[in-house]
């Protein structure tokens, strides 16, 4: 059994290193019209989901359970626990956040990211300590930044340099407008991720996103891509929050080949609230200049 798991892991490493994921498709219509259509569709989503309320509050917090299913998922997980219970505090349109482990051996410990500087605070410490943010074995920088995207996805991607309209698709009885987002070029690049938003034509909300994983340092998955299903939207003070986010490998969330029950990992929110803490909690290092939404 152990040998089979090890062989499967080596196979995934080999496959992930062979080819860079490419999500680009055929653009619908001439480029200017395609870009205008894409920007219009994503702006409708931003308005519908209530990102003006998010921008007004700025800071927010939520508690989430992140369950990793299957052998590969357990090997590639972002957290020490397979079934992680986590509490996030985040600042909108930045990558500044602070997360507390709520279960497992690290229960009560905190990790945070300020202007791309990773830090931690053990449960019995009185202050934070800087960590090596460039350590390739440390996946927490990727993890904290990624959870910003899960909550703020449409707004973040509305600022992408390149937006294209990829036309209409139908899935599970619904009609979707497909919007492609990336930077620099529509062609795949090791430095820029690609995204395709599946925007529900009736609700104007994003039900699915297919995305690459360029910044992922885990050798098991960094050459692959993923997809996520956003479900159970709930209104919290004018902002629609997806309380269920199911992550699948490659485009399995939208290709109809697998049930969402066969997920890679699934995030389920227990609660979501604006404010409730001081913004300064996310900025323990006064000497660091704010980077906002930049790398």
CB environment 272-292: b (16+ within 10 A), e (fewer): bebeeeeeeebbbeeeeeeee
C-beta separation of 269 from 63 below 8 A: yes
Q: What is residue 171's predicted lDDT score, i.e. its pLDDT?
A: 96
Structure token pair of residue 14: 């080999």
Least confident of 19-33, 98-112, 153-167: 19-33
Residues ≥6 apart with Cβ < 8 Å to 158: 39, 42, 43, 46
C-beta separation of 176 from 198 below 8 A: yes
Q: What is residue 4's predicted lDDT score, i.e. its pLDDT?
A: 44
Distance, first Cα to last Cα, the chain: 42
CB atoms within 10 A of CB 202: 8
Q: Is the dihedral of CA 94, 247, 271, 234 positive or negative?
A: positive
Region 74-99: mean pLDDT is: 96
C-beta separation of 207 from 232 below 8 A: no
pLDDT in tens, 80-91: 999 999 999 999
pLDDT in tens, 209-228: 999 976 655 555 556 799 99
pLDDT in tens, 119-170: 999 999 999 999 987 775 578 998 999 999 999 999 999 999 999 999 999 9
Least confident of 6-15, 119-128, 228-237: 6-15
Residues ≥6 apart with Cβ < 8 Å to 142: 78, 215, 216, 217
In the structure, what pLDDT confidence band is assigned to residue 2 with cuts at 50, 70 and 90? very low
Q: What is residue 154's predicted lDDT score, i.e. its pLDDT?
A: 97
Nearest to 94 by CA among 113, 108, 75: 113
Three-state secondary structure call for residue 202: coil
If you average pLDDT over every residue of the chain, what do you get?
Answer: 89
Q: To the nearest 10°, the Cα dihedral for 161, 167, 169, 173?
A: 100
Percent of the chain's residues with pLDDT above 90: 74
User: How does DSSP assign 27-67, residue by residue?
Assistant: -SSSHHHHHHHHHHHHHHHHHHHTHHHHHHH-EEEEEEEEE
What is the distance, to the nearest Å, from the Cα of residue 11 to the centroid of all Cα atoms in its chain?
A: 26
What is the distance, to the nearest Å, from the Cα of residue 255 to the centroid of all Cα atoms in its chain?
A: 20
228 vs 222: CA distance, rounded Å: 16
Least confident of 2-11, 95-104, 212-221: 2-11
Beta strands in 80-185 (DSSP E): 83-91, 97-101, 110-114, 117-121, 129-130, 162-171, 174-182
Question: Is 32's pLDDT higher than 60?
Answer: yes
Q: What is residue 15's predicted lDDT score, i.e. its pLDDT?
A: 45
């Amino acid at each position: 059994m152990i040998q089979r798991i090890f062989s499967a892991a080596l196979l995934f490493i080999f496959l992930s290193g062979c080819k860079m994921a490419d999500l680009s498709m055929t653009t619908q219509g001439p480029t200017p019209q395609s870009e205008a259509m894409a920007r219009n569709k994503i702006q409708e989503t931003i308005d519908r989901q209530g990102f003006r309320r998010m921008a007004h509050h700025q800071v927010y917090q939520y508690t989430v359970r992140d369950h990793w299913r299957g052998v590969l998922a357990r090997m590639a997980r972002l957290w020490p626990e397979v079934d992680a219970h986590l509490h996030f505090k985040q600042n909108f349109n930045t990558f500044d956040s602070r997360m507390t482990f709520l279960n497992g051996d690290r229960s009560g410990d905190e990790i945070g990211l300020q202007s791309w500087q990773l830090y931690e605070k053990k449960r019995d410490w009185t202050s934070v300590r800087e960590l090596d943010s460039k350590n390739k074995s440390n996946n927490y920088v990727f993890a904290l930044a990624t959870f910003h995207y899960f909550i703020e996805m449409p707004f973040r991607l509305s600022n992408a340099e390149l937006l294209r309209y990829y036309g209409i698709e139908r899935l599970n009885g619904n009609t979707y407008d497909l919007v492609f987002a990336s930077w620099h070029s529509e062609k795949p690049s090791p430095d820029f991720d690609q995204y395709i938003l599946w925007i529900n034509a009736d609700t104007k909300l994003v039900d699915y996103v297919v995305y690459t994983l360029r910044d992922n340092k885990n050798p098991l998955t960094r050459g692959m891509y993923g997809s996520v299903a956003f479900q159970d939207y709930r209104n919290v003070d004018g902002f629609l929050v997806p309380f269920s986010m199911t992550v699948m490998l490659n485009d399995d969330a939208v290709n109809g080949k697998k049930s969402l029950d066969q997920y890679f990992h699934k995030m389920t929110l227990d609660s979501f609230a604006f404010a409730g803490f001081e913004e300064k909690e996310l900025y323990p290092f006064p000497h660091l200049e704010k980077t906002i939404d930049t790398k």
